[in-house]
Structure 1
């Protein structure tokens, strides 16, 4: 183990906050390897050789051949992780884990518990400082607004040139006085005793010569600097001018689009209040210009339908599943995959009727609903409040979305915790999957369940409320739907939700975190967490990660949502080795295929296709077993057996757009209930005010809650700093109902339900819950 004496805490400005030898997990063959870690400027980096502030410790000879020798590259930075938004988890007395939400994870072991605590404390402080610096960027941007103009850069160059002239004057004076000094020393050599004067004049002359040489070197360096600055100055000026013009054009474009959006809203409102009657040709043309539709190419199929010949193509990855490479640089890259396009010939051109299992569950839902409790079927109607889009968008340019205070006008009266609970609206599919004895058929039903969770996004464009740290949500539908779920916001930087749901024959859990990209015209949400389902009766377990969600027409036009990307559902436990690959085809105006389509295949450990999956994520999914294949190896043709309707969407009411597009289940998620935890989303005041139509009061309350959350975070940071000063260990924020543990079949650290919530509800003991509202 590393020597704890090597750990150094440095507080000087610009120096590392912490550095020393630690052991980092590399892979199963090499295990933990000794590495030099440097904590500096909100980043934790590691090297193979000792490193001082980012400069590898190399000899002069090795530095000379460093550029051309690849072996010397091992002494540079091997990996780095940003602490802003990172999760720091202690595994045991000497081991801790740092993760940034799924893309990078460092497993680190110290030589002792004291050294581990020193590093964890330093990392928590660095993380808090990085968050503060990130949140203060807005103020700095405002303070620096208007800086960096070409005129200002020109003045900087002129100032440098003036300073160089001053240095030249000083050099002339030094040369002049140096020559005078040498002449005086020469005269002194004649008039003074030769023996004593000779030694003194020689020493002083040598020093004067060295001083003159140093001055000349300084002037040469300054001249080179000025020459370089003058040579590249015009490039900097053009670059800055271009960036300034681009920003100006972007602001003008956003303002123009906002004005167009306002006119479109006014026209739509006028049309909505227009009495029924014939429409003139000019009015019809204007309506055509103001409306936006999801166009289908000529000859395209309706959603969920198949071509007349019963064939459809399917891209299946070759070479097995994606594998994660655990290397010393901690980079997680997927292996390059080749895909083969196959043709699937269904056994019948018409699908079978829905399976009796689904019909039985559906009828059971209808019979039990309201048996013990009468639930509401809708929410208060959505009010029509005007919104000045320009006042919001002009403050969003070039900023992180997580730092923009969004009004409730863009939201729906549900939190992210409740929105994730909607994944189980079609949980009866899991009940059917639990009764399957064939693991391949079971995985096909699980795939249909994962697809069904996106059904409501086709007509829902409202943004859910961001949960506060420690906020929870319970949904107990055991009496009518047969499942209950508990969710908790376990982290704020990065935002992370942990959820656990259990049915009669299955249990699900997931850790949801994401990253977002705002591209001006559209917004992309990329999930990072993993979801799992387990069937205790068979011991089969399956895991998957959600696909990318894109919201189009952010600025102007009708908002619409698309799901696209690849999803791999991998089997674990007794189902290890089998896999389902799903492809969510992105929306395209030029395809002849049905839009919002999903196709995939269930494969065994050797890549042999066992079941075929086909459908759309907003309508239905059909599955069929493979009974034979023909064709070449590169382009096989699969013959399938009888087609089973695995999932069919229950469409919302025709006037659902007046109620935020909610389904019946979504309308019941925020229904008031007694006996829930004080941190439950249904007790959140700003969300409740919005549902009641009091949007102005909701915006005021939203600001108050967010400021209360910031104050609580600042208090935790102050406690951590005081503990570091006193040399005491400090325990960071810990979730109430979930705990971070290492998964049994991987090195992933995730939040898992630790039990106790439903027991606390039965006793009405909420002493563990924080005060967040």
Structure 2
């Protein structure tokens, strides 16, 4: 199989590697022979070479991917969320050749943050030649540096057995050492060839384009200055237009007759922002599966199914006068509202707000102009863009309406239970409608606990388990349910908007029924980054899949993008719960106000065009009103204001002890920025030390143990080959004993 592997490179095409490998498909077929191609920072595979022209069976981006070996011939590639490839080579040398090539491609992808979309934009603008010259030269230099590092690493690995051969008189031992030398010499030869090619490419690129660099640099500076002046002028004009439009709107509203106003506008605050006429029926596209997926939860298995989409019409039942107002959700609002005045024994009195946000002026464009096309999670940003909460705490806010899960736990019908779970997933977005501050990026090893068993009935624990890619592992437990998730994401700034695409997954298990449900979050987009008022939208499709005892049950939700050309309510969410393809429950509402669920009681349509009638809808979730002056402290809800409240006995890695975040909350932003730089540099120094220790161990031929999370461990999900971080179950015991000996010093 080794002769099927080849590498090529030129100044126009990224280095490629192709060859036959064995890929895990599913438990019935096991490992199957597939044709793999490594090119342009992606690893793709096909059933045979002929398929390269028309059918790609799967592809994974190496930027931020995890690459690790399992045994002498097997290695795994995972993007930390949606995709995992288990691959087996025919020999250890072949495996190492692929792993080396993958590491090289990953390093190049990390150093080159510009995306393919940015390249297209540059070409369309007629300015592709200038950045292309710089990109080629920088890319050739980066490849040369990477090859040099790999060459040095493999030479150290080769030098040790060579020196041992010189000092070994035993002929039998010489034979075994000779085999080891041959294998490592092969790796050294591969690295040497790559180094030779890289040197030639760099020399050619430098000779071809070197004389243009000075002129191009000056041209780029002039273009950048002109662009900055244009954007600043545009921002001033936009602000004037926005103020004029707002003033005109206020005058128009004041002058219109009351009757015309009622006929024109459809936002009703009293009933959660829904217009009854608009919501008594709606259409929805749902996906139905045909064929069989041998293992639906295995992200690396090959699907043998197809999907069909059909449109259904849902006619909601009439509402009783009190059915949507005297609901369980309203009762919960009253309970939580009074919980902070409760002074009974065992219930802690908590704060209700944080210090007001100071008004510090900031030239937004001066910072954001260098971020276009890049992953915002990897760019150092001042705290001026942040809110005084970390990503660990923002994820804990998902449980603000965990009482919905308590109600779901009481359901005997798994479809009704899933309808409540769907309402819970929607409620987790309610705080994002007016929260535009960026949470702090957690440090590797940073943790956060939130124990609200005394008043809300749940406790949650989070840990930052990986830095590249950034991954948060979370575990939360209520009286009758457990919920856990692994959260990672990609984010891109495109100039006018910032898009955040979650990659991790979340699951909930109900202890009484044994039902499990899993889902992935939808895409979040922040608009008007440079000009205008910031606003957030959630959009995309979410599928909640039943597992275990709930296998065969699923829910499809559609988050409808914001549109200026609709009279319907904005931020709408529509969905259905299905049992083996049969619609049983309907979900309808908005992700920022409330959600109603209703059982299906009839179908008057045809199989291809069904029309479902529902019973009386029930309010499964309704947003609690925020504190009256919340706009003065980052638009925090009551729970958000309490998340960073100091607490005794927490781990030394707990977010509450993070100094830059604490200083920002207190309003001392200047000192907070200094602390933020200090902490980030400390983290980089620790990472450099780990890398140096790993290289030293490799040179000495001894194993090196990489960083491992303290409270979570990587395990394979039950019934699949997906590897996730699983809670060990030891944190709360360690807290009771105040045993923090394993916690690193990160602050």
The TM-score normalised by the length of structure 1 is: 0.72
For residue 702 of structure 2, the aligned residue among 728, 732, 736 is 728
Deviations 1:255-302 (A, max 9, x none): 43335546888999xx9xxxxxxxxx999459999xxxxx99945454
Deviates more, 1:653-662 or 1:376-385: 653-662
Say whether 1:509 aligns with 2:484. Answer: yes
Which protein is bigger by CA-based radius of gyration? 1
Structure-2 residue corresponding to 1:754 = 728
Alpha-carbon separation, structure 2, partners of 1:735 and 1:505? 27
For residue 596 of structure 1, the aligned residue among 562, 568, 571 is 571
Where do residues 313-332 of structure 1 align in structure 2 (5 Å cutoff)? 313-320=282-289
Deviations 1:76-134 (A, max 9, x none): 9986644431123566786542111334321124679x779968985896588447734
For residue 307 of structure 1, the aligned residue among 269, 276, 284 is 276
Deviations 1:8-53 (A, max 9, x none): 999xxx999999975321344432135687889976677889xxxx
Alpha-carbon separation, structure 1, partners of 2:613 and 2:504? 36
Structure-2 residue corresponding to 1:159 = none
For residue 399 of structure 2, the aligned residue among 419, 424, 445 is 424
Structure-1 residue corresponding to 2:629 = 655
User: Is the 2:486–2:505 contact (alpha carbons within 8 Å) kept by the matching residues of 1?
Assistant: yes
User: Is the 1:358–1:432 contact (alpha carbons within 8 Å) kept by the matching residues of 2?
Assistant: no
User: Is the 1:301–1:307 contact (alpha carbons within 8 Å) kept by the matching residues of 2?
Assistant: no
Q: 1:355 to 1:286 in 2, by over 3 A?
A: closer
Shift of 1:320: 3.6
Alpha-carbon separation, structure 2, partners of 1:357 and 1:102? 35
Structure-1 residue corresponding to 2:23 = 24
Shift of 1:400: 4.0
For residue 133 of structure 1, the aligned residue among 105, 111, 117 is 111
Q: 1:473 to 1:263 in 2, by over 3 A?
A: farther
Paired residue secondary structure (1:346):
coil
Structure-2 residue corresponding to 1:697 = 671
Deviations 1:672-692 (A, max 9, x none): 111111111111111111111
Deviations 1:677-730 (A, max 9, x none): 111111111111111111111111111111221222222222222222222222
For residue 381 of structure 1, the aligned residue among 325, 335, 356 is 356
Deviations 1:627-649 (A, max 9, x none): 11213334332222222111110
User: Is the 1:368–1:479 contact (alpha carbons within 8 Å) kept by the matching residues of 2?
Assistant: no
For residue 506 of structure 2, the aligned residue among 522, 528, 531 is 531
Deviates more, 1:595-604 or 1:19-28: 19-28
Alpha-carbon separation, structure 1, partners of 2:101 and 2:484? 29
Where do residues 27-176 of structure 1 align in structure 2 (5 Å cutoff)? 27-34=26-33, 71=50, 73=52, 81-88=60-67, 95-109=74-88, 122=100, 126=104, 129-130=107-108, 133-134=111-112, 149=130
Say whether 1:763 aligns with 2:737. Answer: yes
Say whether 1:518 aligns with 2:517. Answer: no
Shift of 1:147: 11
Say whether 1:340 aligns with 2:311. Answer: yes
Deviations 1:614-669 (A, max 9, x none): 11111111111111121333433222222211111011123211100001100000
User: Is the 1:488–1:497 contact (alpha carbons within 8 Å) kept by the matching residues of 2?
Assistant: yes
User: Is the 1:48–1:75 contact (alpha carbons within 8 Å) kept by the matching residues of 2?
Assistant: no
Q: 1:762 to 1:20 in 2, by over 3 A?
A: farther
Alpha-carbon separation, structure 1, partners of 2:304 and 2:525? 23
Number of positions where the alignment pairs a residue of Structure 1 with one of Structure 2? 640
Q: 1:420 to 1:751 in 2, by over 3 A?
A: same
Say whether 1:352 aligns with 2:323. Answer: yes
User: Is the 2:546–2:554 contact (alpha carbons within 8 Å) kept by the matching residues of 1?
Assistant: yes
User: Is the 1:86–1:127 contact (alpha carbons within 8 Å) kept by the matching residues of 2?
Assistant: no
Alpha-carbon separation, structure 1, partners of 2:683 and 2:129? 36
Alpha-carbon separation, structure 1, partners of 2:241 and 2:230? 17
Paired residue secondary structure (1:484):
strand
User: Is the 1:47–1:75 contact (alpha carbons within 8 Å) kept by the matching residues of 2?
Assistant: no
Deviates more, 1:632-641 or 1:126-135: 126-135
Paired residue secondary structure (2:736):
helix
Shift of 1:396: 2.4
Paired residue secondary structure (2:509):
strand
Shift of 1:388: 1.4
Where do residues 560-709 of structure 1 align in structure 2 (5 Å cutoff)? 560-605=535-580, 607-709=581-683
Where do residues 269-284 of structure 1 align in structure 2 (5 Å cutoff)? 284=247
Say whether 1:468 aligns with 2:447. Answer: no
Deviations 1:589-630 (A, max 9, x none): 11121111111111111x221111111111111111111121
Alpha-carbon separation, structure 2, partners of 1:567 and 1:81? 21
Say whether 1:453 aligns with 2:414. Answer: no
User: Is the 1:583–1:600 contact (alpha carbons within 8 Å) kept by the matching residues of 2?
Assistant: yes
Q: 1:307 to 1:42 in 2, by over 3 A?
A: closer
Structure-2 residue corresponding to 1:555 = 530
Q: 1:684 to 1:657 in 2, by over 3 A?
A: same
Paired residue secondary structure (1:412):
strand
Alpha-carbon separation, structure 1, partners of 2:372 and 2:303? 31
Alpha-carbon separation, structure 1, partners of 2:481 and 2:67? 31
CA RMSD, Structure 1 to Structure 2 (Å): 4.6
Deviates more, 1:346-355 or 1:17-26: 17-26
Structure-1 residue corresponding to 2:413 = 438
Deviates more, 1:29-38 or 1:518-527: 29-38
Where do residues 167-316 of structure 1 align in structure 2 (5 Å cutoff)? 252-259=226-233, 261=235, 284=247, 298=264, 300-302=266-268, 304-308=273-277, 311-316=280-285
User: Is the 2:287–2:307 contact (alpha carbons within 8 Å) kept by the matching residues of 1?
Assistant: no
Paired residue secondary structure (2:277):
coil
User: Is the 1:121–1:724 contact (alpha carbons within 8 Å) kept by the matching residues of 2?
Assistant: no
Paired residue secondary structure (1:378):
coil
Paired residue secondary structure (2:276):
coil
Alpha-carbon separation, structure 1, partners of 2:305 and 2:488? 20
Alpha-carbon separation, structure 2, partners of 1:501 and 1:126? 38
Shift of 1:364: 4.6
Alpha-carbon separation, structure 1, partners of 2:530 and 2:54? 48
Paired residue secondary structure (1:704):
helix
Alpha-carbon separation, structure 2, partners of 1:249 and 1:136? 19
Deviations 1:745-767 (A, max 9, x none): 33321111111111111111111
User: Is the 1:300–1:591 contact (alpha carbons within 8 Å) kept by the matching residues of 2?
Assistant: no
Alpha-carbon separation, structure 2, partners of 1:457 and 1:676? 28
Paired residue secondary structure (1:308):
helix
Alpha-carbon separation, structure 1, partners of 2:262 and 2:226? 33
Deviations 1:445-471 (A, max 9, x none): 111101100101111111101111111
Runs of 5+ unmatched residues, structure 1: 50-69, 157-232, 272-280, 290-294
Runs of 5+ unmatched residues, structure 2: 120-126, 138-207, 253-260
Alpha-carbon separation, structure 1, partners of 2:533 and 2:251? 13
User: Is the 2:585–2:600 contact (alpha carbons within 8 Å) kept by the matching residues of 1?
Assistant: yes
Paired residue secondary structure (1:425):
helix
